[in-house]
Structures are given as C-alpha cells and as structure tokens.
Amino acid sequence: MYALEEFDGQLYIVTEFVDGHTLAMRWPAGAIDRGIVSTGRELAAALASAHAKGITHRDLKPENVMRMRDGRLKILDFGLARVETGDGGPGTVTAAAAPGALAGTPAYMAPEQIEGRAAGPPTDVFAFGVLMYEWITGVHPFQAPRPWPRSRA
C-alpha cells in the first residue's frame, strides 16, 4: 500500500498494480502444473525473507500469491501481517492480528490462529504446507466428506 487518502469525502487506497495471475487462477482443481516445484521453492524463499525481517503474513492462500507476467512471484495482501520489532518488543500488528482476534482464511489457518493465540513464522509454514498439498493433490488436506457439524442421525 502506497497511501491512504481522502478525496471529496471518499477514502481510497493507493496500491501497486500487479500484472499477472494468482495461484488460484492458475491451477484448476487436480491439474498438475510443471511449475509446482519451482513455484514452491520461490514461495518458500519469499516467506523466509519476510520471516527474516520479522514479518508473518497470517493469510497465505492461493489468492494471495501471484505470478507476475515478467515471471517473478509476489505475495500479496499483508493486511493481517504481524511485524516483530528488532528490540524484542511486542511488535506491530493490525487490529485484526492482535492475540485473541480470529483473522485469516479458515481453510489455511494454523491451529494457533484458530485458537486465537499469537501467530509467528510457523503459522505461515502451516499455510504453505496446506497450499502446496492442495495444489499437488487437487484436494484440500482437511476437506470433510460432508459439512460440519455432523449429525448423529
């Protein structure tokens, strides 16, 4: 995000235009893509870079990963990110990312997120594993055969 501005009483956000396609747009269910391994490596490297800077994304999912037309991979939407301070302080979080707040996409959330506990790099690693499993197999790893709660009929 470059800016949050107001014009004629309307708020608007200025963001980067990213020309390309998200992983969600790229993979039809169950389709094996030749780029899975290289994309997985690039995504892991991008997450490692963010984590090295103290940033936890907290909402990694196929819709938030984009392959740009020039071939580069980009992680999008850091709106729920948690940023740790370098001085050991509590860090900066968005209001929704505060401990105890449930924020993220449930299908990709790590157990600590679902329980409302503080998220860190392992949270993104969990989501990365779910995302890659789903891409490789075409099935979400926690997909239930029918909606919950299951009836006891």
H or E segment to which residue 6 belongs: strand 3-7
Catalytic residue among 8, 33, 59, 77: 59
Tokens of 139: 């099935």
High-pLDDT (> 90) share of the chain, %: 45
In Å, what is the CA distance from 67 to each residue of 10, 15, 44, 55?
32, 17, 14, 21
| Rounded CA separation 136/30 (Å) | 7
Contact (Cβ atoms closer than 8 angstroms) between residue 2 and residue 16: yes
Say what the pLDDT of residue 8 is. 93
Say what the pLDDT of residue 117 is. 87
Per-residue three-class SS string for 43-100? HHHHHHHHHHCCEECCCCCHHHEEEECCCCEEECCCCCCEECCCCCCCCEECHHHCCC
In the residue annotation, 8 being an active-site residue is answered as no
Say what the pLDDT of residue 152 is. 47
- Which of the four pLDDT bands, split at 50, 70 and 90, describes residue 142? confident
Say what the pLDDT of residue 131 is. 94
Domains of the chain: 21-137 (1.10.510.10)
Say what the pLDDT of residue 87 is. 60
Q: How open is the CA angle 134-138-144, to the nearest 5 degrees?
A: 75
Question: What tens digit of pLDDT does each residue of 33-74 get?
Answer: 677 888 899 999 999 999 999 999 999 999 999 999 999 999
- Mean pLDDT over the full length of the chain: 83
Question: What tens digit of pLDDT does each residue of 99-130 get?
Answer: 556 778 999 999 999 998 888 999 999 999 99
Q: What is the dihedral of CA 41, 47, 52, 58, to 10 degrees?
A: -160
* Residue 79 pLDDT exceeds 50: yes
Closest alpha carbon to 27 in 131, 106, 104:
131
pTM to 2 decimals?
0.78
